[in-house]
Amino acid sequence: MKKSINAFIDKKEKIYFALSFAISIIFWLPVVLFLNFIILIIALIWLINTKRFEKSLYWNGLLIYSEESEDLKNLSSEIKVIIENFKSKLDNIMIPNIFIMSGGGILNAIATRILSKKYIILNGEVVNLFLERDDIDGLKMVIAHELWHHLAGHTSFWKSTFILPSKIIPFLWSALSRSMEYTADNIGTFLTWNVQKAAKSLIVVYAWTHYMANDIDLNKFLKQEKKASWFLGFLEEIYSFHPRLTKRVENILKFGENMRDFIG
């Protein structure tokens, strides 16, 4: 005759467990409430800082394109050409808000998302670097690279949050980041439609020398990759979130060989 396991449990155990459970509830309830309060405070601080950063763009930056109005009238003729070129090559493309801000001497451009709004921030130094020598394709490459980070979902908060646990796998997060940069370089090259200019634009930004841009020999530049040992190159790469410049230029040139295959 089979009996239920409950038949073997002492009656006092049930009483004592119920009492222990009730006392534990009294302990854990304020702990949970406190943790929720801390999370709420952190979220509130993050929200305030995020909105402050967003407002600082409007206070201290130059808005050259607004996704709300899609107004091209106030753009410089060069950037207007770039925006119209993007729209002609990609169907139903949504260009995010584009700002120019001082980089304090740093050459950089970033794609960022503030809540539901997308932004591309160009350091004024980068814009000047290319426009001073009428290098429209070089500037196009920079803007297209950041634009694709948005279009490919690289700046998605939910996507980044969902894959956050994958950080426990060594080097996976950095490998993903590097592959995203290659992807953005590919679309930047496609929208620029000038492989040489796309590759040289990266060198110009990294080396900060647009005066020598026309004299850059890409084949000689790629040979610099072999100056360091394979092992040191491997170590440098697995720890980096951005591919090294020689690798990015090599990727652009390889992509350019088959670029016409992407025309429908």
Which of 239, 63, 208 shows the shortest CA–CA distance to 138? 208
User: Virtual CA dihedral for 31, 32, 33, 36, nearest 10 degrees?
Assistant: 120
Which tens digits make up the pLDDT trace of 219-240? Answer: 899 988 888 777 888 888 888 9
Question: To 10 degrees, what angle do helices 124-131 and 195-207 make?
Answer: 130
Write down the domain spans for the chain. 15-60, 61-262
Q: Binning pLDDT at 50, 70 and 90, where does residue 264 land?
A: low
At 176, is the pLDDT very low, low, confident or very high (cuts 50, 70, 90)? very high
Per residue in 126-140, pLDDT (tens digit) is: 998 888 888 889 999
Give the pLDDT band of residue 212 (cuts 50, 70, 90).
confident
Instruction: List, for residues 93-114, the tens digit of each pLDDT value.
Output: 888 889 999 888 788 899 999 8
How distant, in Å, are the alpha carbons of 180, 197, 226, 248 from that of 237?
A: 14, 25, 14, 12
Q: Can you tell me whether residue 64 is helix, strand or coil?
A: strand
DSSP string of 178-230, one letter each residue: HHHHHHHHHHHHHHHT-HHHHHHHHHHHHHT-GGGGGG--HHHHHHGGGGS-H
